[in-house]
Structure 1
Amino acid sequence: MTLSSPEQVAVAKANFDAFFGLAGKVFEGVEKLVALNLQVIRSTLAEAQENLTKVPGTPEPQQWFALQAGFIGPFAEKSLSYSRQVFDIASTTQTEVTQLAQTQYERYNNRVQALVEEAAKNSPAGSEAAIAAWKSAIAATTTLYETLQKTGQQAVQAVESNFDAVTATASKAVRSNADQALVATGAKR
């Protein structure tokens, strides 16, 4: 592939920059997710070791059940926290990717508009209808893109608020169930 004009070189550079920008954002998200998973594994192993050291000291079944009930609440809370953090990482990555896509779309749209304007200047007489149709198509595409973008943002916000509500409800239920289990076994937190 040979690039014969400065415009083609600029377009190729912009496309490479966009690709590497997008790849960078995706890898940042993956990196955050891997770090979170390593942190969760590390803390889970430490807690498992701590909990296993407590088991031999519980000779009575009631104490053992109380000990098990005491593990459920914190585990469920941590699971909810983990889910929230994964959602936050995914949401942040999606927002950054969307911003990059919007920037690319705006650049592309500006290039197309400049092309249409240049074509309009150099067009023969009688081609005004075709140029007007091009401009109308560009305006319709821009409107569609903006509408889809707003709809996508609203969907993400709805998912996030639903996730927050479900997480809060689940957290309350877990605490309530853990407290009930502790009460049933006669243990205290």
Structure 2
Amino acid sequence: MKAGYGAQLAAMTELTGTAVEGMEKMINLNLNTIKASLQASANSSQQMMSATTPQEWMSLRSAQAQPAVENAFHYCHHMADIVSGTHAEIARVASVHVADASRKIKAA
């Protein structure tokens, strides 16, 4: 019975570690995205303030829309990669531990 609890503890420890690593990756992505967004916003504001006509302002604003959409797409893609990688690793760890537990139960 003690071995069973030990195996469960090992499985939970490994699963928790995997989940924490996934969260760490998400937090880093969010922090990097915030930093880049702040820098882009400052640059955009400087460009917008340099416009001398309404047409120039509209042209600058239109030119800034495409990079913003691309950045959002890249963010979503990267987040999806992190989530799917973390999910796959959790499934792998769970599968290994379930198979090991099943083998031990059958042997007992």
Mark yes or no: TM-score above 0.5: yes
Aligned equivalents of 1:10, 1:49: Cα separation in 2: 58
Moved runs in structure 1, 4+ residues, more than 6 A? none
Structure with the greater relative contact order (CA < 8 A, sep ≥ 6): 1 or 2?
2
Identity %: 26
In the alignment, which residue of structure 2 is the partner of 1:85? 78
| Structure 1 unmatched runs, 5+ | 1-7, 116-189
Shift of 1:94: 0.3
TM-score by length of 2: 0.95
| Structure 2 unmatched runs, 5+ | none
Aligned equivalents of 1:17, 1:52: Cα separation in 2: 52
In the alignment, which residue of structure 2 is the partner of 1:76? 69
Tell me if structure 1 keeps the 8 A contact 2:22–2:86: yes
Structure having the larger proportion of residues in helix = 2
Aligned equivalents of 1:44, 1:31: Cα separation in 2: 20
The alignment covers a number of residue pairs equal to 108
- Larger radius of gyration between Structure 1 and Structure 2: 1
Q: Does 1:30 align with 2:7?
A: no
Aligned equivalents of 1:44, 1:28: Cα separation in 2: 24
Tell me if structure 1 keeps the 8 A contact 2:51–2:57: yes
Q: CA RMSD in A?
A: 0.9
Aligned equivalents of 1:113, 1:17: Cα separation in 2: 20
TM-score by length of 1: 0.56
Counterpart pick for 1:15 among 8, 26, 35: 8
